[in-house]
Chain A
């Protein structure tokens, strides 16, 4: 008889009060020490960007938060409703900047059939908008990528991964959900199926071939607890789950390592950026 996943691969308790203290203080410090007191957030109508927005709303005056919704013509209409609901609830203005007129001429010149390619183009166009809005408003771009998707590589390099400060990058999806509830993110945003909304009806979990719940359990034990893959596999087997699920996770993490690193620099000199030339990001701040 199979054992319960909560017995063999339990998610840990989450001390959300402490996490909030760390996130709030550090986010505020890291933004303000640059001399900037405004932030720019791409708000999609999904849970991750809503949580970044709600964290920022605790730290910065509402008028210092530039929330930007960037729909493409195929974006789900409900995304706009959710983005508005999220911003309205905390009294932040939602700025809508359509990217259809940016994307379509490119698609016409270089027709991209594959959904992944089209999706990446949209993610990168949104990055262009956010960074230009950063220059226009004098605000720092805050990130919205969580630890689960960063580890699985379920994100677009130089697209949705781009930011100056990312408060969510060390939070698994289950932790994002818990914090979102505590900060009052509307329930229908928390409870809807996660989607990058790069095309109609897209579902993160369908695309990743694994649920966030199972991915979090595998990742937490493998990465945070330091379990060897064999032990993770044994736990899955005990729960009656095929080890192809853990193999999928191990493979995704390994294959997406390049997304979590700076580009390779071919070493020529004796003092190479990021090898011998090592300075903190906070240098001079």
Chain B
């Protein structure tokens, strides 16, 4: 595969209405697949439930092995589908990212870092994930992070160390901050900067989608960002699906231009981290 099409869907879920949201997600994918043939369709964090759930959380969770509608699984026969969902496992709730592929649930990433500060209260309701695993998407070795996970550089760094070239990030990032220059909300500017630094440092593709709409007066800007290791960024603010084209040869171009990711001293990095661990003990 040389080029791929990614469709970002800045979905606006209805708070706590899981069945309605799943039906809307299926309808949205149906519409997308009627008009084009994307390789990957990516929906934001908690698309099945909405974000500011509070005590609605427990009734808004799905059991991933039994509650994903067959129709949605079938839709993943032609495109990989990445989707944020609140899931229930062994009596615990996880803010998770699901990867549906070839008619099956292929991969689950449980959000590791649950923000519980400022306007966030995720630890009150969700349990933290303990693992970061990779999966094979149509593009190759990939990984999925949920929002705040990407604020912890150890995760993108770890994925880089493991040879992951495609990092998908699904988000419910509330818009905040208007004391900045430029056309973006300050919180989205920070997201973009972060992804650009990771991409340039680690030689990876980054795919980011935030939800749209509002809940309880909190606005979500529906930004989709695609950053290529070739130092190119595409962004879009929209309530509607956005297509972006990926040129996989950008990896080679980035390599020929040269970048910090080409000469990592893995041994030194390990010794620095070992030292840090010892100092923490």
CB-based nearest B residue for A20 = B178
User: What are 23 pairs between A and B in contact, CB < 8 Å?
Assistant: A12-B179, A14-B179, A15-B178, A15-B181, A15-B186, A18-B180, A18-B184, A19-B178, A22-B178, A22-B221, A25-B219, A26-B214, A29-B214, A30-B214, A165-B217, A175-B178, A279-B54, A280-B15, A281-B216, A281-B217, A283-B15, A283-B56, A285-B14
Q: Which residues of B contact A (CB under 8 A)?
A: 14-16, 52-56, 175, 178-186, 213-219, 221
CB-based nearest A residue for B181 = A13
Write the nearest CB–CB distance from A146 to chain B, whole angstroms.
14
Most buried by B among A165, A283, A284: A283
Task: Tell whether A277 is near chain B: CB-to-CB under 8 Å.
Answer: yes
Q: How far is the CA of A18 from the CA of B221 in the complex (A)?
A: 10
Q: How far is the CA of A30 from the CA of B186 in the complex (A)?
A: 22
| Known A12-B179, A280-B52: A26·B15 in contact at CB below 8 Å | no
Q: Which residues of chain A come closer than 8 Å to B215, judged between CB atoms?
A: 280, 282
- Please determine whether A18 and B185 come into contact, CB atoms closer than 8 angstroms: yes
The 4 closest A-B pairs by CB, nearest first: A12-B179, A278-B54, A26-B214, A29-B214
Task: Tell whether A17 is near chain B: CB-to-CB under 8 Å.
Answer: yes
| A-B pair number, CB within 8 angstroms | 67
- Please determine whether B52 and A282 come into contact, CB atoms closer than 8 angstroms: yes
Q: Which residues of chain B come closer than 8 Å to A21, judged between CB atoms?
A: 185, 221
Q: Which residues of chain B come closer than 8 Å to A277, judged between CB atoms?
A: 55
- Please determine whether A280 and B178 come into contact, CB atoms closer than 8 angstroms: no
Q: Which residues of A contact B (CB under 8 A)?
A: 12-19, 21-22, 25-26, 29-30, 165, 175, 224, 277-285
Write the nearest CB–CB distance from A225 to chain B, whole angstroms.
9
Write the nearest CB–CB distance from A203 to chain B, whole angstroms.
28
Write the nearest CB–CB distance from A15 to chain B, whole angstroms.
4
Q: How far is the CA of A279 from the CA of B52 in the complex (A)?
A: 9
Q: How far is the CA of A16 from the CA of B183 in the complex (A)?
A: 10
CB-based nearest B residue for A22 = B219
- Please determine whether B214 and A280 come into contact, CB atoms closer than 8 angstroms: no
Q: Which residues of chain A come closer than 8 Å to B186, judged between CB atoms?
A: 15
Q: How far is the CA of A277 from the CA of B54 in the complex (A)?
A: 9
Write the nearest CB–CB distance from B199 to chain A, whole angstroms.
24
CB-based nearest A residue for B52 = A280
- Please determine whether B55 and A278 come into contact, CB atoms closer than 8 angstroms: yes
Most buried by A among B14, B16, B52, B178: B178
Write the nearest CB–CB distance from B253 to chain A, whole angstroms.
33
Write the nearest CB–CB distance from B46 to chain A, whole angstroms.
13
Known: A26-B217, A30-B217, A280-B54; 12 extra A-B contacts, CB below 8 A, are A15-B179, A15-B182, A18-B180, A19-B178, A21-B221, A22-B178, A26-B214, A29-B213, A29-B214, A30-B214, A280-B216, A284-B16
Write the nearest CB–CB distance from B11 to chain A, whole angstroms.
14
- Please determine whether A13 and B179 come into contact, CB atoms closer than 8 angstroms: yes
- Please determine whether A17 and B55 come into contact, CB atoms closer than 8 angstroms: no
Partner of B15, one of A14, A175, A285: A285
Write the nearest CB–CB distance from B35 to chain A, whole angstroms.
25
| Known A26-B219, A30-B217, A278-B54: A17·B183 in contact at CB below 8 Å | yes
Q: Which residues of chain A come closer than 8 Å to B181, judged between CB atoms?
A: 13, 15
Partner of B185, one of A12, A22, A283: A22
Q: Which residues of chain A come closer than 8 Å to B216, judged between CB atoms?
A: 280-282
| Known A165-B217, A281-B216: A18·B183 in contact at CB below 8 Å | yes
Q: Which residues of chain A come closer than 8 Å to B179, judged between CB atoms?
A: 12-15, 224
| Known A165-B217, A280-B15: A14·B54 in contact at CB below 8 Å | no
Write the nearest CB–CB distance from B191 to chain A, whole angstroms.
14
Write the nearest CB–CB distance from B177 to chain A, whole angstroms.
8
| Known A26-B219, A30-B214, A281-B216: A15·B16 in contact at CB below 8 Å | no
